[in-house]
Structure 1
């Protein structure tokens, strides 16, 4: 019955049956690595661990990443992503809330070599530049494993290896932004270049990061009568969203944050007497005019139903290639409203 809360156990049997029907043997293949954003985009470490033990949800993971992370409260974080994603702004927000220093790897490279990356590449060549960047990156990561917020934009293979190694002990967060916002910021005349850059960078960074955060731009939608908030309020919204995100990564009490990450967060979902989950179609969540607040009032958890695969995913690779970005965008929109436990359900067409 709609609107009635039920014990969590009451829905487990149905979910287990659904999971069996949608398991890889039934589908004829394993799509987990091809459709997944970073595991942190789905659940907090506690949530992912509880679901793994329960067996009702199969986490979709990067091939390099284990299921969960247990970070120390003072573990340094590393924000990665392309230029214009908003890494530095988010780093300042995190450093203020957690009383940490910010280290930009580009500035560290300049201080170490006496050249910017662009100047160094022009003088010594791209191969030598990448090798020096990797050396600087490893040195800075080893020296600053605790108490810092680091920022990096390097995508080449040597840098990605360093990121994967660092992610075994520290949060490595991929910062994304909508293509339209990147276009506007970088003032690129050819839109195809921006979208190709986003496609390549997302693929590269997803192989070496443990979490994803979508830095949503607050702009007026053509289909909505709402005006965008003033810049200072927009930044406060971003800060609130990002600090909630960090609160789900670090242990409780890692930094002072007045608003709880999740009502009843101390009580696991499966332990609560009554729960209410709302199911939202992915196609609707991605609409600019979708009123998220209206749809999640009273909910304890959100299930997003992937309804965007119109053809068999085994034959339409174009749809699968777009799915990780769509899932990340959906997570960002939901988390922006409330920090709910999230699950995804996909009914593959036959």
Structure 2
């Protein structure tokens, strides 16, 4: 059913505008509502709870006492009251009331100021969950599409593969028998979705480092690529989604089929792409194919088909929408007005026979017109007939650069085989193909090169330079970092090398770190804290932690002028004189990712109740404490053999917290392992052991076991063992036995998972490119030789699935 956009549905809201979730029974409103509340730090108000609060009766009780007519009248009245009285700082769940015409009319007006998200889910899953007969399921499904009339956004709640189920029933997680783990994939995806549509900060809120890949959009980075995928290929299962996670900085979904039956299907495919790649989505439409398929049809007119397809892209809250600027200007303007937080890519594609060439003033005029319409990015493509046209592209780009003042970002290149050179040297979101696309159609305008091809060509043409990366620290002979990083360099087409220097000392770092070919280094114990005094600048995260595990070079011009930090980020992968160093920390990112992945919803962080225990007081312990603070936990205990070091770390973080207007003592020291757990705090649900695997300085090896009186949390939690040599530490052996004996639900995370997570974040900082996650995880497992020898292939695959 078509719902034309009439200008009344907006997608730009005040940052605190309440979020409304609507949809039929079984679509996941309650679960996703709780996720949204956690992500946005808001109150959750449900239709059922509010009805009882206002009337004093449950809905069923009210119906039995007053009858259906009075119930329907009162139900609508209370629903409208709930919406009107909670316009800010809430997440509102609306159930069956959203199917009434009166409430839908109210929601339609409400959506002018607030995000109203229609949640949909596969009807087979809903039918199974609700145990419905076929006819009941059909009637419920028929009513579902009514929600598009009164909502301005849409989210497909795809089946969660992390647990194999998405029902409300208990399901075992990937690591522990009898343990419930629900909605982990959906949690991550929906969190990103609600933060994007509301403009809330992302996971790494305020990550102000210009080197941070997650927080820097592709248009602000150099030589970025968008993996081009046709909807038809997705629907025909011609794409291996599991292997799309690297090879691009965004994914462009090109809609080349459209009818009223495909609306929910497209919503689902966008959801699956988000989940598989975790990349920004560019939503585009193959205008020629779409309009050709509807030419001559009067219901609906071909132009309506195109703008309906565009409107649906905006409903899905995609990061980028490509708009064909050759279409009706007034309707294009309407689309741009309703874009919300989606960025508009104004798109032109010229045939080889077109009268407009790169040299014409008309081409520049088109760029300026797109900018005037409000396009943040302008994409001009041309089908090249001869190679001489490639040089014309460069001249056109120079002409745009010469315009005075600030302007929209420009994508400009020739499409097709002849234009490959211009595609390689285009700096922003070049469309590329990918090995996971299992078939190649006869679309000659579709990308012919992969991201790896383009990056390799940039190195071969000396635009980018092969650099040297290192790991500095004690006991790095068995480090897995060289294997991970070198495999990732090869995979991405980069000419870099990562190695262990002959001498493990800070004096060696001084020598290597001044080489023009120096790309950066990892810092491990015992120098994470000491190195903070040697960097010229550092991220606010490294500053707060008081430890650095990553150094990047700060380069200077020939006259000695040091480039600004944003320009330094643009100059990654390029050699040059090193004037100073920049300090970063990715240890906390790796720890944060592992805790988020494995902490059960039943142990969701509460600033008042949640408690954490950190063993150790070195640089890694500091990163763990910072990660736990970022999760919102405000009760953290440190235990360390050397009491003075533990007290120093506690003072550091309490001072930092105090500087942020939080006056309570957040980090406390446990003096003796024989002590009972403090009576004023809940037993910990997060325990992290940060003592090293080998003796370093005065730090003992990883022989720690948690005193049993500290393991009183009835719902368990997460144990992180950061040592991985040996992999099976006394702590992990203790906790396996403790689980068997008590049945408490502790998830165990060993050091291999954590080291891989921090290395992937480090790769992205050092290179500015998306890390090939699965490849790096595989390399860790294949390169590891522990006390039982190397892993066999089955064990590797099991661990990649989280089964170990």
1:4 counterpart residue number: none
1:285 is aligned, of 234, 239, 243, to 234
Alignment of 1:174 with 2:123, yes or no, is: no
1:185 is aligned, of 123, 126, 129, to 129
1:97 counterpart residue number: 39
Within 5 A, what are the aligned runs for 1:246-257?
A: 246-253=194-201, 257=203
Shift of 1:122: 5.4
1:336 is aligned, of 260, 269, 275, to 275
Q: Is the 8 A contact 1:62 1:207 kept in 2?
A: no
1:322 counterpart residue number: 261
1:73 is aligned, of 7, 12, 15, to 15
Distance across 2 between alignment mates of 1:179 and 1:199 = 10
2:106 is aligned, of 142, 162, 168, to 162
Shift of 1:128: 3.7
Shift of 1:345: 1.8
Q: Is the 8 A contact 2:48 2:58 kept in 1?
A: yes
Shift of 1:306: 3.5
Alignment of 1:138 with 2:86, yes or no, is: no
Shift of 1:280: 1.9
Shift of 1:146: 1.5
Render the CA deviation track for 1:4-60: whole Å, top value 9, x for unaligned.
xxxxxxxxxxxxxxxxxxxxxxxxxxxxx82x7xxxxxxxxxxxxxxxxxxxxxxxx
1:214 is aligned, of 153, 156, 171, to 156
Q: Is the 8 A contact 1:133 1:159 kept in 2?
A: no
Shift of 1:257: 1.9
Partner SS, residue 246 of structure 1: helix
Shift of 1:240: 0.7
Alignment of 1:197 with 2:140, yes or no, is: yes
Q: Which deviates further from its counterpart, 160-169 or 112-121?
A: 112-121
Partner SS, residue 280 of structure 2: coil
Q: Is the 8 A contact 1:281 1:305 kept in 2?
A: yes
Shift of 1:199: 3.1
Pair 1:184–1:289, CA change in 2 (3 A):
farther
Q: Is the 8 A contact 2:120 2:156 kept in 1?
A: yes
Gaps of 5+ in 2: 166-171, 296-804
Distance across 1 between alignment mates of 2:243 and 2:28 = 28
Distance across 2 between alignment mates of 1:156 and 1:334 = 33
Pair 1:187–1:63, CA change in 2 (3 A):
farther
Q: Which deviates further from its counterpart, 101-110 or 283-292?
A: 283-292
Distance across 1 between alignment mates of 2:274 and 2:111 = 23
Alignment of 1:245 with 2:196, yes or no, is: no
Partner SS, residue 107 of structure 1: helix
Shift of 1:249: 0.7
Distance across 2 between alignment mates of 1:298 and 1:118 = 54
Partner SS, residue 321 of structure 1: coil
More helix by share: 1
1:112 counterpart residue number: 54
Determine which structure has greater relative contact order: mean sequence separation of CA pairs < 8 Å that are 6+ residues apart, divided by chain length.
1
Shift of 1:301: 3.2
Shift of 1:299: 2.2
TM-score with structure 2 setting the length: 0.31
Gaps of 5+ in 1: 1-32, 37-60, 222-227, 310-319
Pair 1:265–1:208, CA change in 2 (3 A):
farther
Pair 1:185–1:299, CA change in 2 (3 A):
same
More strand by share: 2
Distance across 1 between alignment mates of 2:155 and 2:82 = 23
Shift of 1:69: 2.5
Partner SS, residue 242 of structure 1: helix
Q: Is the 8 A contact 2:158 2:271 kept in 1?
A: yes
Across the aligned residues of Structure 1 and Structure 2, the Cα RMSD in angstroms comes to 3.3
Pair 1:89–1:77, CA change in 2 (3 A):
same
Q: Is the 8 A contact 1:64 1:207 kept in 2?
A: no
Distance across 2 between alignment mates of 1:263 and 1:196 = 46
Partner SS, residue 258 of structure 1: coil
Pair 1:128–1:291, CA change in 2 (3 A):
farther
Distance across 2 between alignment mates of 1:115 and 1:177 = 31
Q: Is the 8 A contact 1:63 1:207 kept in 2?
A: no
Shift of 1:141: 1.5
Pair 1:98–1:181, CA change in 2 (3 A):
same
Render the CA deviation track for 1:72-110: whole Å, top value 9, x for unaligned.
222211111111111111111222232222111122123
Pair 1:289–1:187, CA change in 2 (3 A):
farther
Distance across 2 between alignment mates of 1:75 and 1:331 = 25
Distance across 2 between alignment mates of 1:185 and 1:287 = 28
